[in-house]
Structure 1
Amino acid sequence: MNSIWILPASLLLDLGFGDPQGFPHPVRFIGKFARYMEKFTRKFIFSERFAGIITAFSVYSLSFILPWVIIKFSRYIHPFLGELASVFIIYTSIALKDLLDHSKDVYSALRENNLEKARLMVGKIVGRDTANLEEPEIVRAGLESVGESLVDGITAPLFFAALGGPCLAMLYRSINTLDSLFGYKNSAYLKFGWASAKIDDLANYIPARLTAPILCLSSAILGFYPLRSFKILIRDGKKHPSPNSGLCEAALAGALKIQLGGRNYYSGIPSEKPKLGDPDRKLTPNLILDANKIIFLTSIVSSVLFLGLGQATRLVSGAFF
């Protein structure tokens, strides 16, 4: 990715259009292809773990090669068309507008005192049971979702796009999609989804550790609580079962002086998640808007820093190779 304007243009396109309903999004294609490969490999490969590995690397390969072919063909027609294809591919790999819009839907429903609608809205962005949640738990679910999705849906794709261009961004999106589909520790996917979950953890390792301090910085710029954010990041960020998910959630909890985590229910079964942060403030709907401000600025600052990192990497590599 040689043109410095491609990454900012992709982010602006996402902020302007998000993921339009009915749009033939590449992520949906990745999901359908992954399900097809799952059926195929489970049928013909006896080992569940090996079937999962073959499925994962088939999806990863296609997700990298197909954008590469599209960009090469577009450049063959005209170089600028190749750059437009790059913008489009990166745009489809990030989801900042959708994340902000979905959380705003939860906020709006709570401000209308419509708990049923709020439960429905938050149920679209979390995997836990939401039918019986009261207002504070709905707020907590929404905040945990935006905190966790910050890396998966925004900064990690930007990181890989800045360092490796649109093909690497789409490869990352396929890694994250497969973890969402197969990364469950249940009888159906414990072995089959092993590779997908491990590779997702590896792919998110650096982006998560870059994003969390940027979130602390963004909270300072916006006038929240950056020192508390950094303190809770260090103290609680590694409590989460995932090596990456707890970092930004902890930093967000500290920035807002709240506590996230606790008991959730999945298909009626209770699950205790580690508590992140301190309960200095009550969980109220306005916190969703505060979190959105932090998420938005963190995304912008991350894109600038990652773009600079990508340019520096190319300059250094060009000097040696």
Structure 2
Amino acid sequence: MNTAILAFLFDCIIGDPNTKFHPVALIGRLISALEHFLYRPQDSDARKFASGAILVLLVLLISYEAAAAIVMASYHIPFPWATEVVSALLVSFTISPKSLAKAGKAIYARLVMDDLAGARQRVGWIVGRETQNLDAGEVTRATIETIAENTNDGIIAPLFFFAIGGAPLAVFYRAANTMDSMIGYKNDKYLYFGRAAARLDDVLGYIPARITGLLFLVSAGFLGFDARNALRMLRRDAKKHPSPNGGCCEAPMAGALHIRLGGYNTYFGKQYFRAYMGEPLRPLAAPQIMESIRMMYTATILFLICGTIVFQIMGR
């Protein structure tokens, strides 16, 4: 796990470089190119599903093999630490604690300055729902929900797959998650074409999401939040989430902070209701964004500590 710790430190120091050559950006461009080639609006639903599945297989294969080739090439660098550093850099590109915290802090800053328009714009950069009509409480809710879910999707899950299969498997997961975020929508265009990507992301995220939920329980205890209520909400409300994994992250976060997540969201002009998680013991307010960021960082550090202990016991 030394490589994972180094990756986390790289992210804390460097963050995600804003460049078109970022691996996740390259994966996104690959997905877009393959979508342009494979998607045909006139195709039958079955053919759209098959085309989407082919896209998934191609993206996963290319992403994994490219990462594996980079790691293999690093063996030829005449320094004993080169492969570990290269692997750590690759893994650091698959995790995003600094970017997630930066986005949350920017929204928090707009809210405390009563710049609701700026807060709406900022939260619109990190969520899929429409944000132009959200009030301050709904902006806070959207931000916390994103931080909770992305603690799994953008941090714990990539580190989990690195732990079991090295940097190429972390990139493999990140590619799958990126496909879900780009084509895994339940709208007219992607309902069938993006179904394979959405289902794969659910399967890959199943175990990491439950680890994230447990880490949030422990984090709540360390930070002085309500760990007992977090456990109660995890048991009671996690299954209400439309995603098989999202509730495992959002429910304990809501319980720990004594807030209620879920409610009405608007996507592509249509309003949908997401089941409530947690109880509104506190009104949604900007300071809770900072509390959720502390939960995110604490859960990440706990995962790295626990992983290091497990690897020591296993002699790896």
TM-score by length of 1: 0.93
Deviations 1:278-297 (Å, cap 9, x if unpaired)? Answer: 01111111111111111110
Determine whether 1:269 maps to 2:270. Answer: yes
After TM superposition, give the deviation of residue 12 of structure 1 in Å.
Answer: 0.6
Tell me how far 1:94 sits from its aligned partner.
0.2
User: How many Å separate the matches in 1 of 2:177 and 2:253?
Assistant: 22
1:67 and 2:67 aligned = yes
The residue number in structure 1 matching 2:50 is: 50
Note the C-alpha offset of 1:311.
5.5
CA shift digits 1:245-266 (9 cap, x unpaired): 1111000000001100011112
Paired residue total? 312
Report the Cα distance in structure 1 between the residues aligned to 2:108 and 2:163, rounded to whole angstroms.
33
Aligned to 2:176: 175
Q: Which residue of the partner structure matches residue 220 of structure 2?
A: 219
**1:242 counterpart SS class:** coil
Conservation of the 8 A alpha-carbon contact between 1:158 and 1:306: no
Instruction: Tell me the residue number matched to 1:319.
Output: none
Task: Give structure 1 regions of 4+ aligned residues with deviation exceeding 6 angstroms.
Answer: none
**What does the per-residue CA deviation read over 1:86-134, in whole Å, with 9 as the maximum and x for residues that have no partner?**
0110010000000001000000001111111111111111111111111
Tell me which amino acid in the other structure corresponds to 1:155. I
Matches within 5 A, 1:163-242: 163-242=164-243
CA positional deviation for 1:23: 5.8
- In 1: Cα distance, 2:204 partner to 2:31 partner: 18
- The whole-number CA distance in structure 1 between the counterparts of 2:308 and 2:199 is 27
- Residues in 2 aligned to 1:25 and 1:167: alpha-carbon distance in whole angstroms: 15
Deviation for aligned residue 1:22: 2.7
* CA displacement, residues 41-96 of structure 1 (integer Å, 9 cap, x when unaligned): 336x9711111111101000111101111111111233422222101100100000
Query: Tell me, what secondary structure is at the counterpart of 1:260?
Result: strand
Which amino acid is 1:106 matched to? I
| 10, 14, 17: which one aligns with 1:13 | 10
Q: Is the 8 A contact 1:159 1:303 kept in 2?
A: no
Give the Cα separation in 2 of the matches to 1:300 and 1:23. 29
Kindly state the Cα deviation for residue 313 of structure 1 after the two structures are TM-superposed.
5.8
Between stretches 257-266 and 19-28, larger displacement belongs to 19-28
How big is the shift at 1:314?
7.0
Q: CA deviation at 1:226?
A: 0.1
**Is it true that 1:149 corresponds to 2:150 in the alignment?**
yes
- Aligned-partner Cα distance in 2 for 1:123–1:186: 19
Q: Which moved more, 1:284-293 or 1:298-307?
A: 298-307
Secondary structure of the structure 2 residue equivalent to 1:237: helix
Instruction: Please tell me whether the aligned partners of residues 2 and 308 of structure 2 are also in contact (alpha carbons under 8 angstroms).
Output: no
- Cα distance in 2, alignment partners of residues 72 and 88 from structure 1: 14
Structure 2 CA distance, aligned partners of 1:295 and 1:84? 25
Query: Which of 21-30 and 87-96 deviates more?
Result: 21-30
Structure 2: distance between partners of 1:311 and 1:120:
45
Distance 1:199 1:228 in 2: 31
The CA distance in 1 between the partners of 2:118 and 2:130, in whole Å, is 14
Equivalent position amino acid for 1:26 in 2: P
* Secondary structure of residue in 1 paired with 2:191: coil
Question: Does structure 2 conserve the Cα–Cα contact (< 8 Å) formed by 1:162 and 1:309?
Answer: no
Is 1:32 the counterpart of 2:29? The answer is yes
Taking the aligned partners of 2:60 and 2:315, their CA distance within structure 1 comes to 24
Match of 2:246 in 1: 245
**Superposition RMSD in Å:** 1.7
Residue pair 1:60, 1:174 contacting (<8 A) in 2 also: yes
Q: Note the alpha carbon deviations across 1:170-221, whole angstroms, 9 max, x for none.
A: 0000010011111111221111111111110000000001110110100100
- Equivalent residue, structure 2, for 1:318: none
The verdict on how the C-alpha distance between 1:264 and 1:19 changes in structure 2, with shifts beyond 3 A counting, is: same
Unmatched tracts of structure 2, length 5 or more: none
Percent identical residues: 38
* Equivalent-residue separation in structure 1 for 2:19 and 2:195 (angstroms): 32
